[in-house]
Amino acid sequence: MTASVPAGAVHTRRDGDVLVVTIDHPPVNALSADVRAGLARAIDQAGGDPQVRAVLLTGAGNNFIAGADIREFGKPPRPPALPDVCNQIEACAKPVVAALHGAALGGGLEVALAAHYRVALPNAKLGLPEVTLGLLPGAGGTQRTPRLIGAAAALDLMLSGKPMTAQAAVAAGLADEQASGADPLAAGLDYTRRLLAQGAKPRRSRDGQALADKAASLAAIHAAGQRIAASTRGLFSPAKILDAVRAAVEQPFDEGLRAERALFLQCLDSPQRAGLIHAFFAERETAKIPELKQAKPRRLDSVGVIGGGTMGAGIAVAVLDAGLPVVMVEQDEAALARGRQRVEHVYDLLVGKGRMSADERAARLARFTGATDYAALGEADLIIEAVFEDMDVKRAVFAQLDRVAKPGAVLATNTSYLDVDRIAQATRGPADVLGLHFFSPANIMKLLEVVVGRQTAADTVATGFELARRLRKIPVRAGVCDGFIGNRILAVHRQAADMMMEDGASPYEIDAAVRDFGYPMGPYQMVDLAGGDIGWATRKRRAATRDPALRYVQIPDRLCERGWFGQKTGRGFYLYPDGARQGTPDPEVLAIIDAERQRAGVTPRPFSAEDIQRRYLAAMINEAANVLHQGIALRPSDIDMVFLSGYGFPRYRGGPMHYADRVGLANVLADIRAFAKEDPAFWKPSPLLVELAESGRDFASLNQAA
Measured distance CA(318)–CA(305) in Å, rounded: 11
H helical segments located in 543-600: 555-561, 587-600
Stretch that binds ligand 3H9, among 138-146, 151-159, 238-246, 389-397 (CB under 6 A): 138-146
- Name the residue nearer to ligand 3H9 (CB basis): 43 or 409: 43
Beta strand 447-452 with 303-306: parallel, antiparallel or unpaired? unpaired
Distance CA 135, CA 659 (A): 19
* Smaller CB separation from ligand 3H9, 293 or 428: 293
Q: Which is nearer to ligand 3H9, 161 or 504 (CB)?
A: 161
Q: For 170-203, what is the HEC assignment? A: HHHCCCCEECCCCCHHHHHHHHHHHHHHCCCCCC
**Per annotation, catalytic residue among 130, 260, 449, 623:** 130
- The alpha helices in 507-579, defined as continuous H runs, are 507-517, 523-530, 532-542, 555-561
Q: 180-210: buried (b, 16+ CB within 10 Å) or exposed (e) per residue? A: eeeebbebbbbbbbebbeeeeebebbbebeb
Residue choice 35, 56, 139, 405 for contact with ligand 3H9 (CB under 6 A):
139
Q: Of residues 135, 324, 329, 634, which one binds ligand 3H9 by CB under 6 A? A: 135
Nearer to ligand 3H9, 137 or 435 (CB): 137
Answer yes or no: 285 catalytic: no
Q: Which of 38, 95, 134, 138 binds ligand 3H9 (CB under 6 A)?
A: 138
| Cα gap 648→273, rounded to integer Å | 18
Contacts 24+ apart (CB under 8 A), 144-147: 144/110, 144/113, 144/114, 144/205, 144/206, 144/208, 145/113, 145/174, 146/210, 146/211, 146/217, 146/245, 146/248, 146/249, 147/205, 147/206, 147/207, 147/208, 147/209, 147/210, 147/211, 147/248, 147/253
Question: Per CB under 6 A, which of residues 72..101 are in contact with ligand 3H9?
Answer: 82
Per CB under 6 A, the list member of 54, 66, 411, 447 interacting with ligand 3H9 is 66
Per the document, the length of the chain is: 706
Stretch that binds ligand 3H9, among 7-15, 137-145, 394-402, 595-603 (CB under 6 A): 137-145
Nearer to ligand 3H9, 490 or 644 (CB): 644
Per CB under 6 A, does 241 bind ligand 3H9? no
Q: By C-beta, is 30 or 555 nearer to ligand 3H9?
A: 30
Q: Which of left, alpha, beta for 408 (phi over 0: left; psi -120 to 50: alpha)?
A: left
Cβ–Cβ < 8 Å for 641, 485:
no
Question: Is 68 near ligand 3H9 (CB under 6 A)?
Answer: yes
What is the closest distance, in whole angstroms, from the C-beta atom of residue 286 to ligand 3H9 in the complex? 10
Applying CB under 6 A, which part among 60-68, 220-228, 330-338, 346-354 lies near ligand 3H9?
Answer: 60-68
Strand order in the sheet with 10-15: 5-7, 10-15, 18-23, 54-59, 96-100, 117-120, 177-178
**139 or 478: CB nearest ligand 3H9:** 139
Are 326 and 303 in contact by the 8 Å Cβ rule? The answer is yes
The Cα 603–Cα 687 span in angstroms is 32
Residue 150: partners with Cβ closer than 8 Å, 6 or more residues away:
210, 211, 217, 220
One DSSP character per residue, 50-71 reads TT--EEEEEESTT-SB--B-TT
130 among known catalytic residues = yes
Count of helices and strands (H, E) across the chain: 30, 20
Among 284, 355, 540, 599, binds ligand 3H9 (CB under 6 A): 284
Stretch that binds ligand 3H9, among 12-20, 67-75, 443-451, 530-538 (CB under 6 A): 67-75
Q: Work out whether 59 is an interface residue with ligand 3H9 (CB under 6 A).
A: no
> Should residue 475 be labelled a site residue for ligand 3H9 when binding is judged by CB under 6 A?
no
- The residue range among 129-137, 181-189, 596-604, 644-652 that interacts with ligand 3H9, by the rule CB under 6 A, is 129-137
- Pairwise CA distance, residues 154 & 639, whole Å: 36
- Position 157 contacts ligand 3H9 (CB under 6 A): no
- Residue number with CB closer to ligand 3H9 (107 or 556): 107
Q: Give how far the C-alpha of residue 559 lies from the chain's centroid of Cα atoms, to the nearest Å.
A: 34
> Which CB sits closer to ligand 3H9, 16 or 80?
80
Q: Does 70 bind ligand 3H9 (CB under 6 A)?
A: yes
Residue 267 CB, shortest distance to ligand 3H9, in Å, is 10
Residue type at 33 in one-letter notation: A
For residues 449 and 457, the answer to whether their CB atoms sit within 8 Å is no
457: amino acid identity, one letter: A
Contact 528, 583 (CB under 8 A): yes
Give the helix/strand (H/E) hosting 274: helix 271-285
Degrees (nearest 5) of the Cα angle 124, 126, 131? 145
Q: Does 420 bind ligand 3H9 (CB under 6 A)?
A: no
By beta-carbon proximity to ligand 3H9, the closer residue of 121 and 133 is 133
Segment near ligand 3H9 (CB under 6 A), from 24-32, 354-362, 454-462, 597-605? 24-32
User: In one letter, which amino acid is 20?
Assistant: V
Told to check if 244 binds ligand 3H9 by CB under 6 A, we report no
- Single out the residue of 1, 27, 353, 548 in contact with ligand 3H9 (rule: CB under 6 A): 27
The interface region with ligand 3H9, picked from 22-30, 199-207, 388-396, 621-629 by CB under 6 A, is: 22-30
Total chain residues near ligand 3H9 (CB under 6 A): 26
Does 67 participate in binding ligand 3H9 (rule CB under 6 A)?
yes
Q: Does 382 bind ligand 3H9 (CB under 6 A)?
A: no
Taking the complex as a whole, how short is the minimal distance between the CB of residue 29 and ligand 3H9, in angstroms? 9
From 110, 260, 449, 466, active-site residue: 110
The reply on whether position 289 binds ligand 3H9 by CB under 6 A is no
Active site residues per annotation? 110, 130
Interface contacts to ligand 3H9, rule CB under 6 A: 27-28, 30, 63, 66-71, 82, 103, 105-107, 110, 129-130, 133, 135, 137-139, 141, 281, 284
